[in-house]
Amino acid sequence: MEQYTVTGMSCAACAARVEKAVSGVKGVTACSVNLLTNSMGVEGTASAGEIMAAVREAGYGAALKKGSNNQTAQLSSEEDALKDRETPVLKKRLFASLGFWIVLM
């Protein structure tokens, strides 16, 4: 079973979407996505490139866990960019929900 790291997933629906996209790749016999560890295991004869392309088409990022240093560096930069992009949005949502919570109390 090949192990991949998947970036960009935030809910169970995201994990299901990735799993469905990868399961549709010709040559994939089994696919298991773990949201908590942002990982995915794939069994079958499909190439890593086809699998990662399917994940990208679904709107997420993917890289082999046992990949080259270039892939690892790219994944790290994607994770950093994702964190930097999501943090301000999440802070705004937090403060807005706190404001509504105070009004309700």
Report the side by side order of strands in the sheet with 2-7: 28-34, 39-44, 2-7, 61-64
pLDDT of 65 reads 86
Structural contact between residues 48 and 64, judged by C-beta atoms closer than 8 angstroms: yes
**Which residues are paired to 4 by β-bridges?**
40, 64
Look at residue 34 in the predicted model and tell me its pLDDT.
94
pTM for the model stands at: 0.63
Residue 69 has pLDDT above 90, yes or no: no
Number of domains comprising the chain = 1
The enclosing domain of 32 has a CATH number of: 3.30.70.100
Q: What is the reported pLDDT for 32? A: 95
pLDDT in tens, 23-68: 999 999 999 999 999 999 999 999 999 999 999 999 999 999 865 4
The residue that leads in pLDDT, 60 or 82, is 60
Q: What is the spatial distance between Cα 42 and Cα 71, in angstroms, rounded to a whole number?
A: 18
Structural domain range at position 72? 2-104
Instruction: Indicate the average pLDDT of the chain.
Output: 86
pLDDT band at 74; cut points 50, 70, 90: low
Q: Residue 88 above 90 pLDDT?
A: no
